[in-house]
């Protein structure tokens, strides 16, 4: 396992590709740029794949038709990200996408692709009001932590990171890094997710990486407005920055945000920190055992 790694979090501008090949070229250029700057883990945002709905102008402006169009491209999307991970020798969290389950339910799926061809996925657990009430996206039921050559990685997609028990369960199962792809249509939404990400870093004494969509896409009923800045957050303790912010991009700017992290710091924070919230967590229940969700450990190493 490598102790020090370079993470690239995308502030990904939503475009209007005219073909799947055009989208492939865009994503490939982004991966090429990050890999060229030494990144080993690349994080794309929530619902970044929805820009593919622009390919068919007849359905792009229809919320549910655009969702179905991107669902239909799922295997091709996966194949492209998997190819890029192998070609550039990087670990990639692809932009999340709607995925249809065998029973017809549609979930918001984040997939992690490794350089050796292995992959795994985490479905978003908590649905926002838009996903529940307008889009009919369903929440996932299983939590995973991915054991990789670069460390133990969990994924808490956007709204998920605002709920402490999701990241706590992943951290308790060994997660050292939580990846948080996000998509928010207001600055308030962005800050809710960012504050959640920083709180999860503090509580669990781990790294949390946020990667948002940015820019305006008035053609899309799902991604019409996108606000945010990518960031890498840690507990503000010991040798960490006073505000717990390792890296932070410029809001709204399409760019990669890089951070070099030493995951060995997780153990140091937990064993020698000024405070020990990860270890002291059970004490808040005054002797009662908190509800715990089962977590599947997915070996990708």
Active site residue 138: no
Q: What is the pLDDT of residue 183?
A: 98
pLDDT of the residue at 297: 86
Query: Over 60: is that where the pLDDT of 288 sits?
Result: no
pLDDT at 136 over 60: yes
- Looking at residue 292, its pLDDT comes to 60
- CA separation for the pair 241, 73 (Å, rounded): 42
Q: Which two tokens stand for residue 164?
A: 């402490």
For 10, the token pair is: 């995308």
Angle between helices 164-172 and 187-204 (to 10 degrees): 40
**Per annotation, catalytic residue among 51, 131, 138, 158:** 158
Percent of the chain with pLDDT over 70: 96
pTM: 0.95
> Does residue 191 have a pLDDT over 60?
yes
> CA-to-CA distance for 69 and 62, rounded, in angstroms?
10
pLDDT digits (tens, 9 = 90+) for 152-181: 999 999 999 999 999 999 999 999 999 999
Is 26 annotated in the active site? Answer: no
* pLDDT tens-digit series, residues 233-268: 999 999 999 999 999 999 999 999 999 999 999 999
Helix extents (H) in the chain: 20-36, 63-72, 74-88, 129, 164-172, 187-204, 264-272, 277-280
Give yes or no: 158 in active site: yes
pLDDT of 3 > 80? The answer is: no
pLDDT tens, residue by residue, 51-70: 999 999 888 999 999 999 99
Average pLDDT, the chain: 95
Please determine, for residue 287, whether its predicted confidence score (pLDDT) is greater than 80: no
Q: Is 57 exposed, middle or buried (0-12, 13-18, 19+ CB in 10 A)?
A: exposed
Tell me which of 284 and 3 has the higher pLDDT. 284
Average pLDDT of 38-48?
98
- The tokens for 171 are 């951290």
User: Tens of pLDDT along 78-133?
Assistant: 999 999 999 999 999 999 999 999 999 999 999 999 999 999 999 999 999 999 99
- Under 8 Å CB-to-CB from 80, ≥6 apart: which residues? 24, 27, 28
In this prediction, residue 296 has a pLDDT band, given cuts at 50, 70 and 90, of confident
- Please state the rounded mean pLDDT for residues 40-49: 98
4-299 CATH: 3.60.110.10
pLDDT at 291 over 80: no
Say which of 124, 131, 180, 183 is annotated catalytic. Answer: 124
């Amino acid at each position: 396992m490598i102790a020090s790694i370079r993470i690239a979090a995308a502030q990904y501008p939503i475009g209007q590709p005219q073909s799947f090949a055009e989208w492939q070229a865009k994503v490939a250029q982004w991966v090429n740029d990050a890999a060229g700057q030494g990144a080993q883990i690349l994080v794309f945002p929530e619902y970044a794949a929805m820009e593919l709905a622009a390919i068919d102008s007849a359905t792009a402006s229809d919320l549910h038709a655009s969702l179905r169009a991107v669902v239909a491209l799922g295997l091709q999307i996966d194949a492209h990200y998997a190819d890029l991970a192998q070609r550039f020798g990087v670990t990639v969290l692809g932009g999340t996408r709607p995925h249809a389950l065998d029973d017809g339910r549609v979930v918001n799926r984040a997939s992690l692709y490794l350089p050796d061809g292995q992959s795994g996925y985490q479905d978003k657990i908590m649905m926002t009001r838009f996903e529940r009430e307008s889009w009919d996206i369903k929440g996932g039921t299983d939590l995973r932590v991915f054991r990789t050559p670069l460390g133990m990685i969990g994924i808490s997609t956007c709204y998920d990171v605002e709920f402490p028990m999701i990241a706590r369960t992943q951290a308790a199962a060994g997660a050292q890094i939580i990846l948080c792809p996000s998509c928010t249509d207001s600055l308030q939404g962005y800050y809710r997710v960012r504050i959640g990400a920083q709180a999860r870093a503090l509580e669990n004494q781990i790294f949390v990486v946020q990667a948002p969509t940015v820019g305006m896409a008035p053609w899309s009923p799902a991604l019409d407005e996108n606000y945010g800045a990518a960031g890498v957050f840690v507990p503000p303790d010991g040798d960490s920055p006073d505000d717990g912010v390792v890296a932070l991009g410029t809001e709204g700017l399409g760019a990669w945000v890089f951070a070099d992290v030493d995951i060995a710091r997780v153990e140091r924070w937990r064993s020698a920190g000024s405070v020990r919230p990860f270890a002291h967590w059970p004490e808040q229940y005054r002797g009662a055992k908190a509800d715990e969700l089962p977590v599947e450990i997915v070996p990708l190493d």
